[in-house]
Amino acid sequence: MTDPIEIQDDEQFETFELRPTPEDRNVRLDRFIATRIDHVSRTWIQRLIESGQVTVDGYERSQTFKMTPGQVVLVNIPPIEDDELEAENIPLDVVHEEPDLAVINKPAGMVVHPAPGHRSGTLVNALLYRYPDIAMSGTNRPGIVHRLDRETSGLIVVARTDRGRLALLAQWADRSVVKEYLAIVTGVPAESPFRIDVPIGRDPKQRNKMAALATGKTARSTVDLVEDIKQISLLAVTIETGRTHQIRVHLAHAGFPIVGDRVYNRKTGRYGGEGSIAERQMLHAFRLAFDSPSGEHLDLSVPLPGDMDAVLAMARSEAPRD
């Protein structure tokens, strides 16, 4: 399965371009879209198909239409409005909070913000409940200044006020925020630390994923070996830039794809991508360091979640002894 490419983001619609692979042959149109755009429910997808917001090779089709490799599916998703956002009493692991901001330890599987057909259970829904006075700032994503993929766990900072939002955005813009991740990967680097300075852009052959491209945008990562477990290793990755899927693309390009990454890890077996023992990509945002609007310098970290600890423990038990 591959991620969709978002090819448009205007005031009216988000448009996604999806391309079936051989594994999608004869899969229903509604089911196919649901596997590619996981923040939109299948019921909502069926409504989009019925209302003419989905085309296959330029033609409207029914939800039961069967997929064939080589087709191009366009999905137009209208934005949700501010007044459609709902507060939900969802427990949050709050690592730090102050009047202008909060830092949350996001669990894997939690979507950051709502989308049509997927308006509940997100971080934004939980934020609206815990901080009912959070600044909307003219957006349907209150508090969000940066994002984590749904399957990535770890630290995310949210703005509670306009002052907090502006202070955080300024630091993201000047790249002064320290963002460090832990990743479980296949293979073991021969040297540590090492730097990856490889531009990233949309893959010209598979427009539904990112790739290391000379014509892409500047992307820099520094990688340190934390633990060598023979078949796999635990790496610490600090990113200077924040490109889409940067760590996943960079590590795969360097020959160390992330365990459980079903898009960028093409290796097979227990510690590969599709069909591995990991139910999600083994990537965790474990450290954030930045300046609070109050003038305090914050340097926060959280331990690995249980599923990543379990994969490491299993690998250690299977590793050959010297």
The pair of three-digit structure tokens given for residue 159, joined into one six-digit string: 């703005």
| Spatial distance between the Cα atoms of 297 and 279, rounded to a whole number of angstroms | 36
**CA 45 – CA 33 distance, rounded (Å):** 7
Identify the CA nearest to 63 among candidates 34, 25, 23, 20.
34
Burial of residue 282 (number of CB atoms within 10 Å: 0-12, 13-18, 19+)? buried
Active site residue 149: yes
Q: Where are the alpha helices (DSSP H) in the chain?
A: 29-36, 42-50, 123-130, 162-173, 246-253, 306-318
Nearest-angstrom CA–CA distance, 76 and 26: 22
Beta carbons within 10 angstroms of residue 39's beta carbon: 16
Residue position matching structure tokens 């590793």: 319
Dist CA 260 CA 283 (whole Å): 9
- DSSP result, 33-87: HHHH-TTS-HHHHHHHHHTT-EEETTB---TTPBP-TT--EEEEEPPPPGGG---
CA 268 to chain centre: 22
**Angle ∠(41,113,290) on CA atoms, nearest 5:** 155
**Cα end-to-end distance, the chain, whole Å:** 38
Q: Which of 3, 24, 30, 149 is catalytic?
A: 149
Residue numbers annotated as active site: 149
